[in-house]
């Protein structure tokens, strides 16, 4: 029996894959639980159209991410922090502050969860780099400078 998966199932396949399974497994588990539908001719056509639309949307999002990556490569974000006489920051600079600074200074909207620092935070003044994962295959290093206020 061939079925079209609606969800990713470990050791079987990913969503929208057409897989061959045993009749009982498909009829008694996958289809009643809503994990799959029968791979009839009509369902195959619907699945093909959905894959086509999904790839078009994915392409559009990837192009937007690549354009934003080119812009982010050239910027240096400046983040002010209160500093002790030794050069250590009171508190730390983390991904949230970098995302807010990108929004304020350059009007680039980047989710803080997509910004990765070496370690969790920066605790001294200086120049650093943060890796920003914009899309599945698109990442960029963003320069940021922490200075004393």
Element housing 105 (H / E): helix 95-106
Tens-digit pLDDT profile for the chain (149 aa)? 999 999 999 999 999 999 999 999 999 999 999 999 999 999 999 999 999 999 999 999 999 999 999 999 999 999 999 998 888 899 899 999 999 999 999 999 999 999 999 877 889 999 999 999 988 888 999 999 999 88
- Cβ neighbour number for residue 89 with a 10 Å cutoff: 18
Residue limits of CATH 3.40.5.10 in the chain: 2-63
Please say whether the structural domain 2-63 has been given the CATH code 3.40.5.10.
yes
Of 66, 48, 73, nearest to 142 by C-alpha is: 73
Nearest to 16 by CA among 60, 42, 46, 61: 46
Beta strands in the chain (DSSP E): 2-5, 18-20, 36-38, 76-81, 88-93, 115-116, 122-124, 126-135, 138-148
Q: How would CATH label the architecture of 65-148?
A: Roll (3.10)
pLDDT digits (tens, 9 = 90+) for 69-95: 999 999 999 999 999 888 889 989 999
């Amino acid at each position: 029996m061939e079925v079209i998966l609606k969800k990713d199932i470990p050791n079987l396949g990913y969503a929208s894959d057409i897989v061959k399974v045993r009749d009982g497994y498909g009829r008694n588990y996958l289809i009643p639980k809503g994990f799959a539908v029968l791979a009839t001719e009509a369902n195959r056509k619907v699945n093909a159209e959905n894959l086509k639309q999904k790839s078009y949307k994915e392409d559009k999002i990837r192009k937007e991410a690549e354009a934003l990556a080119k812009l982010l490569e050239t910027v240096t974000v400046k983040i002010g922090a209160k500093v002790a006489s030794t050069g250590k920051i009171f508190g730390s600079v983390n991904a949230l502050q970098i995302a807010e600074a990108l929004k304020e200074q350059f009007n680039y909207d980047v989710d803080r969860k997509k910004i990765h620092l070496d370690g969790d935070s920066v605790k001294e003044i200086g120049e650093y780099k943060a890796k920003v994962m914009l899309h599945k295959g698109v990442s960029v290093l963003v320069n940021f400078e922490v200075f004393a206020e």
